[in-house]
Amino acid sequence: MATPKPQRTPEQIEDIILRKIFLVTLSDSMDTDSRIVYLELTAAEILSEGKDLKLSRDLMERVLIDRLSGSFQSAEPAFQYLINSYRRAYEEGKKIGNMKDKNLRSDMESVVRQAKKLLVSYCRIHLANPDCFGANDAPNNKLSVSPLLPFIFSEVGGGLDGFGTSSSSGGVQCPPGFLKEFFEEADFDSLDPILRGLYENLRGSILNVSALGNFQQPLRALLYLLSFPVGARSLVNHPWWIPKGVYLNGRVIEMTSILGPFFHVSALPDHTIFKSQPDVGQQCFSEASTHRPADLLSSFTTIKTVMKSLYKVLGDVLLALLKNTETRENVLEYLAEVINKNSSRAHIQVEPLSCASSGMFVNLGAVMLQLCDPFLDGSLTKRDKIDPKYVFYSNRLDLRSLTALHASSEEISQWINKDNPGSIDGSRQHSDGENRLLQSQEATSSSNIASEPSLLNVNPTSSGGGGKSKYTFICECFFMTARVLNLGLLKSFSDFKHLVQDISRAEDALATLKAMQGQTPSSQLELDISRLEKEIETYSQEKLCYEAQILRDDFMNFIIMFMGSPNFIRNPYLRAKMVEVLNCWMPRRSGSSSATATLFEGHQMSLEYLVRNLLKLYVDIEFTGSHTQFYDKFNIRHNIAELLEYLWQVPSHRNAWTQIAKEEEKGVYLNFLNFLINDSIYLLDESLNKILELKEIEAEMSNTAEWERRPAQERQERTRLFHSQENIIRIDMKLANEDVSMLAFTSEQIVVPFLLPEMVKSFQIFTAYALYPLGIGYHDKLLFIYLKIVCIYVHLARGDKENNFPAAISSDGRSYNEQLFSAAADVLRKIGEDMRVIQEFIELGAKAKAAASQAMDTEATLGEIPDEFLDPIQYTLMKDPVILPSSRITVDRPVIQRHLLSDSTDPFNRSHLTADMLIPDIELKARIEEFIMSQELKRRGEGLNIQSIKDTIQTTNGEMLID
């Protein structure tokens, strides 16, 4: 019978467990494990003290210090030893869980817990004071990487770059529970130096990393550290939280602050010095013209996905800091510093070395919008927390000089000073009523940032004055977000617009060089062509990077809605800036990429509102109050016209357009048509006059002898005038061509608004500019425009069910000439125009001639018309007289309605006037109708008497005596 195995005592078991954890022995047992260290001196000391050579919880720290302080061959370095010891303690703890003796199990679990706590404590000591144990595996200067970092990376998981390639912590696995215990159970002073190093390491690991690089792992590591209160406090107390220095500017904050490089991660182009890797343009869009649309769309999707991930975690980072009452004010100070130091980003020219990148501000804008989302709910329940006076009285941001969206400078001045009659510029302190603190204690069930009472009602210390600000977090967040969007997203849109313009110019220059190379080849031209091709390739890559990151549905929604909302943005110039962005996004301007086409042709809000809001803005831009409004409107309408021409080619947009024309037949659509025709007439008039001036100068130059006798200065001035006028003609004709083109393609399907009484008269004057130059052939460059005008006339004639159009053309003797139609038809035949169009045009001319003849008969019948029946503006017989409510003058309804399409004032005293204010003059209308009827009866009566005499004579003499 076998001898039973002797039962181990708790002391023996404790000794075994601790020897396994710490890999030390107090006896020279010649252990085969080279990692085990014989603590000979420690053993001697213990023996001298009369104690057993067994490890116990009382000896743990003493043994650990001796192990770390000694120099032992083949032993693990200090940090690696401490981590592995913690891992062994964790494994021993799992084994202890299988012990049947509850008391023994509980006792040994306590030993393991104490060992783990001790190991974590000495890890902190070692990392904070790397020289204390004579070790060389811990950071000994600020440039070294903390050995703790790989374990943090392993805790947060491996990262993925933009190509889906995994990056891990090098196979290192953190012992379960180690990091939690490391950061939770210690005071600030012991952890702060360690955390500072970690933050510097994380900042360095993400510096110059692009959207396709591995930014996820460092960013998640940052968020993980902030989950501990001590981590958040250490971050905002770091010297690099808000860098200080004489040379501090926006770029310095971006590149040297702890958070800056995280916000720098982007797909957007940046200055060469700060270019991130991998290069997004080269990786995704190199030689994009040869890529399949599906490949481009895949790249777009990849970039949008990784940026969405970045926005989410960056938002979580700020949220973690804002929810912590000890760090919230530091976040607001940081954001204010970033905004204030980058205020020059709003300038037309930005110095990239002194301003943060567009990538940082676009990212920051996306994150700030996330923070705003909870309190900008549909019902605006927190609107009362947003104090508009923040713009003028905040000590944190200087916003007073910025452009107002919905107020004039006079209104702003009046509003600022209404409670401060003695204030000069509105910058004095608030009244007592204004200075009260916004106190509110409501709390809601939501756990997000805007729903936390502490955030709803925080009164943060202002960065400028040291006192308490009266503004809530919601108020500060709202205005900070608005400013960030202005400096970031809107500036990026502007940069994108200029980039597209650069591409257009470069392509034009390349076409010119290639044409020259085809005629007179040279090596220099070859070099210039190669340089331009490389330049265009770089520009194209950058353009697609912009589209990939800032071309998102939310931005399209924003642009479409605010572009057509004067109730929110009164200044039409600001709304016109949004059109410039859309103009750059047009597929034909963007290389016909499927992403931009989808944005216009598959976006629900675009399909529903884009055409409508463009038409409204086209009308609104007529009146801006600016002294340059007359000239500015042509450039703005040029952009709108390009967009509308593209949208007409999209069936869904064309259907929306025709529906709008039907619904707004006498509303905004009629205003749109009126301004479109007015602009066309003005531009054609200007072009014709300047063409005549050019012909005059050309005639002077052709007389060589006379020209050479003139003074040199005069010849220079006339030559300069010639080229100047030539350039103006080119621009005017380009704009006129767009306007007439729009009239041409819309009139083919939308006819009724053109033929309304108040609109059809516009074609009287249009006729002269449309047909006279075409028939005479003043300038070949005008031919293309006039062909379109002929098409307009044919289109309107086809849709003229009541046959009013011919009469409208011929009713004004100043512009109508029946020979113009035949002369124009001859030109159309010579250039080979479609015979059907020519025939219809000739038929329209015949109808106009007949209408003119009938009008002459009618005029002869009416005889001399009393002045009271004549319209005081056009001096034509009124058909529908109305009284103007202010001046009390009677005019013909179509005449005044045509005036109101361009100017909503009474033409006689400039008072406000709209069509619905017109008062029908029923009594005068009846008298006019009676006059017409009496004149007609009179004419018929005279004709009857003459015929009666003829009949009598015929009967008497049997032959006609009177002819």
Q: How far apart are CA 686 and CA 732, in angstroms?
A: 7
Cα 28 from Cα 743, distance rounded (Å): 103
pLDDT the model gives residue 765: 65
Residues in the chain, overall count: 963
Structure-block tokens of residue 733: 């004709």
Across residues 273-302, what is the average pLDDT? 88
Answer whether residue 522 shows pLDDT above 60.
yes
Q: In angstroms, how far is CA 677 from the centroid of its own chain?
A: 32
Closest residue by Cα to residue 794 from 844, 834, 828 = 844
Chain centroid to Cα 683, Å, comes to: 32
Average pLDDT of the segment spanning 729-749: 91
φ and ψ at residue 34, rounded to 5 degrees: -65, -15
DSSP-assigned letters across all residues of 70-127: S--TTPPPHHHHHHHHHHHHHHHHHHHTT-S-HHHHHHHHHHHHHHHHHHHHHHHHHH
The band of 821, judged by pLDDT with boundaries at 50, 70 and 90, is confident
> Dihedral through CA 589, CA 590, CA 596, CA 597, nearest 10?
60
Q: How far apart are CA 542 and CA 523, in angstroms?
A: 29
pLDDT digits (tens, 9 = 90+) for 775-799: 444 556 677 887 888 888 899 999 9
**pLDDT mean over 301-327:** 95
CA distance 832 to 813: 31
Whether pLDDT at 143 is above 70: no
Q: Which residue has the higher pLDDT, 713 or 165?
A: 713
The per-residue pLDDT of the chain, averaged, comes to 84
Kindly report whether the peptide bond that precedes residue 278 is cis, defined as omega within 30 degrees of 0: yes
Contact status, residue 581 vs residue 284, Cβ threshold 8 Å: no
Tokens of 546: 């912009």
Does residue 461 carry a pLDDT above 60? no
pLDDT of residue 767: 63
Concatenating the DSSP letter of every residue in 659-726 gives HHHHHTTTTHHHHHHHHHHHHHHHHHHHHHHHHHHHHHHHHHHHSHHHHHHS-HHHHHHHHHHHHHHH
User: Which of 273, 244, 266 lies closest to 310 in space, CA to CA?
Assistant: 266
DSSP characters over 330-346? HHHHHHHHHHHHTGGGG
Q: Which amino acid is at 752?
A: V
pLDDT of residue 909: 93
Determine contact, residues 685/736, Cβ cutoff 8 Å.
Answer: no
CA 672 – CA 641 distance, rounded (Å): 11
- Residue tagged 């512009």 (tokens): 815
The pLDDT assigned to 170 comes to 59
**What is the model's pTM?**
0.77
Q: What pLDDT, in 10s, does the model give residues 331-340?
A: 999 999 999 9
**Radius of gyration of the chain measured on its C-alpha atoms:** 42
Distance (Å, rounded) from C-alpha 351 to C-alpha 355? 6
- The more confident residue out of 165 and 561 is 561
**Closest among 541, 532, 533 to 499, alpha carbons compared:** 541
Geometric angle at alpha carbon 517, from 511 and 519, rounded to 5°:
110
Which tops the pLDDT comparison, 665 or 713? 713
Sorted by where each starts, the structural domains of the chain and their CATH numbers stand as 10-128 (no CATH), 668-862 (no CATH), 868-951 (3.30.40.10)
Nearest to 342, CA basis, from 357, 320, 330, 329: 357
pLDDT digits (tens, 9 = 90+) for 218-272: 999 999 999 999 999 999 999 999 999 878 999 999 999 999 999 999 999 999 9
End-to-end CA distance of the chain: 163
The amino acid present at 672, given as its one-letter code, is F
Percent of the chain with pLDDT over 70: 86
**Is the confidence at residue 408, as pLDDT, over 50?**
yes
Backbone angles phi, psi at 883, to 5 degrees: -100, 130
